Amino acid sequence: MVIRKRKFILAFTCFVLFSSAGAIAHAEDFVSFDPVPQHPPSEEIFAVNIVIEAKKYLGTLYKFGGTTPTGFDCSGFVRWVYQQFDFSLPRTAREQAAIGEEISPGDLQVGDILVFKAGRTGYHTGIYVGDDRFIHSPGRGKRIREANMKIGIFANKLISVRRLILK
């Protein structure tokens, strides 16, 4: 009786192994190996990623002419953030005030570049993060921070909103 059980177990094991080998050999008939199509990120996802990147530098010290995480001025900060997504922005705030598409202030979206009048002839840039707030490198002795664009020194000084479009 024990020998019959062993022969049965051996026969059953062989049957399972050999019958499944055929199924494995033809698995490609049942599984699609087509690559998943790659779609460029949507404008919304891109904009959120810009804000996430900008927030990484909150607390970084302002540095006149600074263009790296060791210290940024306003336009150097905006330029650095967008560079992380393969956008090549001009160096100065005045030049950044002319890039991309001009947007009505009523149509602000997260990730837009805000351009403010600074002094009599200067410009100041930052990145819009929503709810009337933006991230910027404010000036000497200060650190990158969020600010409300409708109160304090920025109230009524917005002169342009720029949006960079994914291609």
CA pair distance 93, 117, nearest whole angstrom: 10
pLDDT at 151: 93
Q: Which residue has the higher pLDDT, 2 or 68?
A: 68
Burial label for 94, CB within 10 Å (0-12, 13-18, 19+), is middle
Residues of 58-71 as b/e, b for ≥16 C-beta within 10 angstroms? eebebbeebbeeeb
The rounded mean pLDDT for the chain is: 83
Residue 95 pLDDT more than 50? yes
Q: Phi and psi (nearest 5°) for 8?
A: -65, -45
Confidence class for position 10, pLDDT limits 50, 70, 90: very low
pLDDT at 32: 45
pLDDT at 41: 58
**pLDDT (average), residues 5-26:** 46
Helix (H) or strand (E) holding 42: none
- Sorted by where each starts, the structural domains of the chain and their CATH numbers stand as 43-163 (3.90.1720.10)
Kindly report, residue by residue over 104-159, the tens digit of the pLDDT: 999 999 999 999 999 888 999 999 999 999 999 999 999 999 999 999 999 999 99
The answer for residues whose C-beta is within 8 angstroms of residue 120's C-beta and 6 or more apart is none
3-state secondary structure of 80: helix
3-state secondary structure of 59: coil
Residue whose structure tokens are 């900060």: 77
Residue 167 pLDDT more than 90? no
CA pair distance 133, 76, nearest whole angstrom: 19
pLDDT at 88: 95
**pLDDT (average), residues 82-95:** 96
Rounded to two decimals, the pTM is: 0.75
Catalytic amino acids?
A: 74, 124, 136
Kindly report, residue by residue over 32-51, the tens digit of the pLDDT: 444 544 555 588 899 999 99
DSSP for 82-142, written as a single string: HHTTT----SSHHHHTTSSEEE-GGG--TTPEEEEEETTTEEEEEEEEETTEEEE---TT-
Q: Which residue has the higher pLDDT, 52 or 6?
A: 52
Q: Phi and psi (nearest 5°) for 145?
A: -155, 170
Q: For residues 66, 70, 74 and 76, what is the CA-based torsion angle, rounded to 10 degrees?
A: 60
pLDDT at 9: 47
